[in-house]
Amino acid sequence: MAHGRIAPGRFEDPTALPLLRDGEREPVERARTGTPPRGWRLRIEYALQTAGAVGMVARTVAVDDAVQGARHPQVVILGAGLDGRAWRLPELADAAVFEVDHPASQADKRQRAAALGPPPGDLRFVPVDLAADPLGPALADAGHDVSDPTSWVWEGVVAYLTPAEVEATARAVAALSAPGSRLVLTYQVPSRSAALGRRLARALIRLAGREDPMASEPWRSSWTPAAMRAVLEGAGFAVASDESLVEVARGLGVTLTRASVSGRVVVAGLRPTSPR
């Protein structure tokens, strides 16, 4: 939705459209025209897609900036989904990129990614059910080296985990990180207006007769900046920055919708004295 249309010069993602299947492209291409379609159901779909694209731009740019700035030899993307960074970020061409995701989700991703061709660098798929399987052995089998600094990307996942799962994952990441490693994650702060915005969006999706993509992914946690800092520091990280996506969007010249205003992105480095 946003490629070439929102924050040009700061955001682009040519991988997104090829990752969609034929039936999924139609509403996106219709919305990309910038002209609201006729019919109230299609107009609802158009409005929701346009609003969601703005929030994704701010989040993506914030995470990209942190990963590109680190230039680490290893990048691990937790809950990678349809992430296209291995294809679209030139800074990753010289890094080993590990995409970690549930086996079923990753199988779907690999089928879709055939349309992109091979990435320019070293991409390794790591199928792991993090609810049942430890992360370390799977990454080790894929060639992850705990003695080399790693950039960890944990984007758009924390809200769907319980507080205990978030804390356990942060500790696991720290245990697999060499000094100098960096963790980049996004999370949601408690927000009544954002919660109302999400409920409204889901109601409109049902009204438009569309399948709700979030129906099987309930939100399980939200965090104040102080609470998130405590979790990360407890795991052995030092928070370098914690920025609202509203601020990121403002710097890009775009405005977020109510459903997106509770998002934040935090960048944390492993403390040199943190135990391995």
| Domain 22-270 CATH (choose: 3.40.50.80, 3.90.1150.10, 3.30.300.250, 3.40.50.150) | 3.40.50.150
Q: Which of 156-165, 210-219, 220-229 has the lowest mean pLDDT?
A: 210-219
Residue 276: predicted pLDDT: 47
Q: Report d(CA 188, CA 222) in Å as an integer.
A: 5
- Residue 185: count other Cβ atoms within 10 Å of its Cβ: 27
Above 80 in pLDDT, residue 138? Answer: yes
Give the residue, 232 or 192, on which the prediction is more confident. Answer: 232
**44 contacts 141 by C-beta, under 8 angstroms:** no
The pLDDT of residue 89: 97
- State the pTM of this model: 0.90
| pLDDT score recorded for residue 258 | 55
pLDDT-derived band at 40, boundaries 50, 70, 90: confident
For residue 43, give the nearest of 27, 22, 66 by alpha carbon.
27
Looking at the predicted structure, is the pLDDT value of residue 274 above 50?
no
pLDDT of residue 50: 80
Q: Does the pLDDT of residue 133 top 50, yes or no? A: yes
Q: Is the pLDDT of residue 275 over 70?
A: no
Question: What integer pLDDT is reported at residue 43 of this predicted model?
Answer: 80
Write down the domain spans for the chain: 22-270
110-121 confidence digits (pLDDT tens): 999 999 999 999
Evaluate if residue 140 carries a pLDDT over 50: yes
pLDDT in tens, 51-102: 788 889 999 999 999 999 999 999 999 999 999 999 999 999 999 999 999 9
Mean pLDDT of 123-146: 94
Percent of the chain whose pLDDT exceeds 70: 88
Mean pLDDT to the nearest integer, 19-33: 89
